[in-house]
Structure 1
């Protein structure tokens, strides 16, 4: 277990999946990251790569060959190597291998970087294409979940406000697949009150178009909460498992999304996929301030 610590926060990160396990605010004496109770959902904050969401039939085609991959990809289930580590920062790495190439035939270097700064934790995704001539097709995303309630009250006492205030496109899910062709308007002029029944059709997904966006998770009393700033993501998902009354909410920055309802199965045509030329590097990031 990797521990990052300063006078405000103590953070624990597992090398398995480069997953954030704990964010303990010393002043508030509160744990913000979901405990991972398997009765509801056994993870904490997995990293999603090289896909976000589900593929049609859990499969895709590339160069005339069919490959199979489970929801959210394989990175969350693999051990990362520590590239560098300080008291307040760590860089973890996953590279392609014989086992990954059997289901994802690309060369890649995927780094997850955590950096503490006061009461904030920054998470950076760095994807490199080490190939000499082939492009790299991928999606990447975060899935951090937060304990609710934090400091009293109940789940429905909390809200999520979105800045900038505007009308966003909400992408609906049909089963596990996205339907971007028929978006519905989502106005952030009024904070989103968290209600379990709003997640019966899975996540609430907003299209961010890589615009810097901030999400404030708190009670009306606003004594303690979490503020997430997403720097350049395509989408964000807000999720809690349907029908379980789970005591957490996930706020998920995504550079990619589940297959569309009319997906062709061709990985190069996948909606929201990122394309990285040979030798190039992709960067995505978000920060969480725990107060």
Structure 2
């Protein structure tokens, strides 16, 4: 089942399964910006990552002396959400804990995804709440954008522009895990031209502070897409390698994969968030298309 948000400029489709954006169209040009999920490369569009971002060591974590299994990026992307409220330009989707989720994640929670379309901008909001006990979690986005956007351009014609224009720390992966010993500065004080070899070691993971915007641009077309946010500590930039996959993901993260030195204890996990009973965690990012 899908819910449609629409105004005179744009149309957005959101799947109830995973509460995942599956389409973002600029109506006058009939131009689709969201990757359409060809399983030849990658079968998803823009999954929500919850209650973990990235991979855990041995796909396992521990809490209060007990171990729990958890696959990469958590389970929310593979759950049916309930449409809680809707109008023509906004919708709220709910996923609540249940007996099944408690088997792998021993916290009672309510996760809401809030979507609001204004002009050519779509804001994606996260609300996380618990009423039982303190809760540890990560959450993040994984939207994939069509690159190239137009038929007359190629993947290598595009570049990523970073705002503000400054260097950011790069957190390299060793296998599936973050290798903090190899942390280095990335030259994000200038634009980076896209090429396949950027992703030989999987995602480019950057530390981010404050307001950030990442734009996918091309000098051969006026069409572009940008993703912006405030106070997400990490962003992942990814496409499937070595396949010539025609998309780029820009992934705002409130959490990160385990480090190579991780203990496996959820309380000690790098980038983990904690809320107390009755507290609501809120954060959002915005996608703008041109």
In structure 1, distance between residues paired with 2:141 and 2:176: 18
After superposition, what is the alpha-carbon deviation per residue over 1:149-173, rounded to whole angstroms, capped at 9, x for unaligned? Answer: 1012110100111111111000000
1:222: how far off?
A: 4.8
Which residue pairs with 2:191 in the alignment?
191
> Is this contact kept in 2: 1:48–1:76, CA < 8 A?
yes
Which residue pairs with 2:21 in the alignment?
20
Which residue pairs with 1:59 in the alignment?
60
The answer to whether 1:163 aligns with 2:163 is: yes
Which residue pairs with 1:3 in the alignment?
4
Segment drifting more, 239-248 vs 26-35: 26-35
> Is this contact kept in 2: 1:234–1:254, CA < 8 A?
yes
Segment drifting more, 37-46 vs 272-281: 272-281
Q: Provide runs of 4+ in structure 1 moved above 2 Å.
A: none
> Is this contact kept in 2: 1:140–1:256, CA < 8 A?
yes
1:189: how far off?
A: 2.2
In structure 2, distance between residues paired with 1:189 and 1:59: 37
Segment drifting more, 120-129 vs 222-231: 222-231
1:231: how far off?
A: 2.1
> Is this contact kept in 1: 2:36–2:45, CA < 8 A?
yes
Unmatched tracts of structure 1, length 5 or more: none
In structure 2, distance between residues paired with 1:288 and 1:222: 18
Q: Secondary structure at the match of 2:284?
A: strand
Which residue pairs with 1:252 in the alignment?
251
Which residue pairs with 1:285 in the alignment?
284
Which residue pairs with 2:131 in the alignment?
130
In structure 2, distance between residues paired with 1:244 and 1:159: 19
> Is this contact kept in 1: 2:202–2:238, CA < 8 A?
yes
RMSD, matched Cα: 0.9
In structure 2, distance between residues paired with 1:48 and 1:145: 13
1:221: how far off?
A: 3.4
Which residue pairs with 1:274 in the alignment?
273
In structure 2, distance between residues paired with 1:221 and 1:55: 41
Which residue pairs with 2:223 in the alignment?
224
> Is this contact kept in 2: 1:165–1:187, CA < 8 A?
no
In structure 2, distance between residues paired with 1:128 and 1:160: 34
Q: Secondary structure at the match of 1:197?
A: helix
Which residue pairs with 1:85 in the alignment?
86
The answer to whether 1:204 aligns with 2:200 is: no
In structure 1, distance between residues paired with 2:221 and 2:130: 43
TM-score (norm 1): 0.97
Which residue pairs with 2:149 in the alignment?
150
Q: Secondary structure at the match of 1:99?
A: helix
Q: Secondary structure at the match of 1:13?
A: strand
Unmatched tracts of structure 2, length 5 or more: none
In structure 1, distance between residues paired with 2:67 and 2:192: 41
1:180: how far off?
A: 2.7
TM-score (norm 2): 0.97
